């Protein structure tokens, strides 16, 4: 099946299919350079988050009703193939009704305007590469950048001064840590709501508080140490860009970080640039 092309006048929708959530959005400004001007970061709006593990067609149809009143192209970037398959089937069924023809395009690493300095770029999560693509555009010229993405898994990735993706580190996020403790032991409970901004009490005065302290302080310490290690390679003044749903929990671990909640979606939107042949 040929991949759909994208033209400047098209309505472009985005789907970031993660392990826990599908993030939906509409591209409001592609950021294409005009008359030799500087390329800008795309802006997105009409955000909607739905559960990756329980997609309801009614939720999708409700969002599409306002996001795409007529024909549109949807760029799908996924780290969860099963959820992406369900989403794409639902989109195809909705398109078949004739109310709003939808052309789908699955985003791969080759669609992103990013230099990937790795032997097997196809094995890197598209969410990491999309975030790096957006970060490479906005980082200061002549400097590298560090991207911290706080999702189901946390990632700390590095960009060189000339914008190459160098790789990074992956570790479990707070919810995944809590689930692993509960499933890997016979008596420890699964502690909920560990992704809040306030640091947990130390010492924990009961088992739940002790788990919260271990995970809460552990994730802060891990992110802080990984950023420090990245700066040893890239330079002490290397800027940090923070994104993801529980980023507030690690603000104090990376003081001065730039927070960009829509970094991954902006990077996915930049795939439209190549699809337009620009």
For residues 176 and 76, membership in a common domain is answered with no
CB burial string 199-219: b at 16+ within 10 A, e below: ebeeebeeeebbbbbbbbeeb
CA dihedral sign of residues 169, 129, 120, 15: positive
In a domain, 7, yes or no: no
In a domain, 86, yes or no: yes
For residues 80 and 130, membership in a common domain is answered with no
| Residue 113, both tokens | 């305007």
Rg of the chain, C-alpha, whole Å: 20
The domain that contains 227 carries what CATH number? 3.30.420.40
For residues 100 and 91, what is the distance between their CA atoms, to the nearest angstrom?
10
If one counts the domains in the chain, the total is 2
Of 73, 39, 67, nearest in space to 275 by CA: 73
Q: Which range marks the domain in which residue 210 is found?
A: 115-263
In a domain, 201, yes or no: yes
Cα–Cα distances in Å, from 98 out to 14, 25, 70, 106, 232? Answer: 20, 21, 9, 21, 55
For residues 147 and 240, what is the distance between their CA atoms, to the nearest angstrom?
6
For residues 32 and 154, membership in a common domain is answered with no
In a domain, 6, yes or no: no
Q: Is residue 153 a contact partner of residue 180, using CB atoms and an 8 Å limit? A: no
For residues 254 and 121, membership in a common domain is answered with yes
Q: What is the structure's pLDDT at 243? A: 97
For residues 127 and 223, membership in a common domain is answered with yes
Annotated active-site positions, please? Answer: 127
For residue 220, the cross-strand partners are none
In a domain, 2, yes or no: no
For residues 133 and 250, membership in a common domain is answered with yes
For residues 216 and 129, membership in a common domain is answered with yes
For residues 199 and 165, membership in a common domain is answered with yes
CA atoms within 13 A on the CB side of 233: 16
For residues 52 and 70, membership in a common domain is answered with yes
127-174 tens-digit pLDDT: 999 999 999 999 999 999 999 999 999 999 999 999 999 999 999 999
Which residues of the chain carry a pLDDT beneath 50?
Answer: 1
Task: Tell whether omega for the bond before 203 is within 30 degrees of 0, i.e. cis.
Answer: yes
For residues 198 and 152, membership in a common domain is answered with yes
For residues 130 and 240, membership in a common domain is answered with yes
Q: What is the structure's pLDDT at 126? A: 97
- Name the phi and psi angles at 155, rounded to 5: -130, 145
For residues 195 and 174, what is the distance between their CA atoms, to the nearest angstrom?
6
For 196-231, the DSSP string reads -SSPPPSS-SSHHHHHHHHHHHHHHHHHHHHHHHHH
In a domain, 227, yes or no: yes
């Amino acid at each position: 099946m040929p991949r759909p092309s994208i033209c400047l006048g098209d309505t472009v929708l985005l789907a970031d299919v993660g392990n826990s959530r599908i993030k939906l959005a509409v591209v409001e400004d592609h950021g294409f350079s005009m008359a030799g001007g500087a390329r800008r970061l795309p802006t997105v709006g009409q955000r909607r988050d739905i559960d990756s593990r329980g997609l309801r067609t009614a939720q999708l149809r409700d969002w599409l009703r306002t996001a795409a009143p007529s024909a549109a192209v949807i760029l799908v970037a996924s780290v969860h193939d099963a959820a992406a398959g369900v989403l794409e089937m639902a989109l195809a069924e909705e398109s078949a009704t004739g109310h709003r023809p939808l052309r789908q395009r699955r985003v791969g690493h080759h669609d992103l305007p990013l230099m990937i300095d790795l032997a097997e770029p196809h094995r890197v999560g598209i969410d990491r590469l999309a975030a790096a693509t957006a970060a490479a555009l906005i980082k200061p010229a002549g400097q590298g950048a560090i991207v911290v993405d706080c999702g189901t898994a946390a990632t700390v990735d590095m960009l060189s001064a000339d914008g190459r993706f160098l790789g990074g580190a992956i570790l479990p996020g707070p919810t995944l840590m809590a689930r692993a403790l509960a499933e890997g032991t016979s008596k420890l409970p699964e502690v909920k709501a560990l992704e809040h901004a306030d640091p947990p009490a130390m010492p924990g005065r009961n088992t739940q508080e002790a788990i919260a302290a271990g995970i809460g302080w552990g994730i802060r310490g891990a992110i802080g140490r990984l950023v420090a290690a990245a700066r040893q390679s890239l330079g002490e003044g290397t800027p940090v860009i923070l994104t993801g749903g529980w980023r507030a929990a690690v603000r104090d671990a990376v003081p001065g970080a730039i927070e960009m909640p829509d970094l991954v979606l902006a990077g996915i939107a930049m795939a439209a640039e190549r699809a337009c042949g620009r």
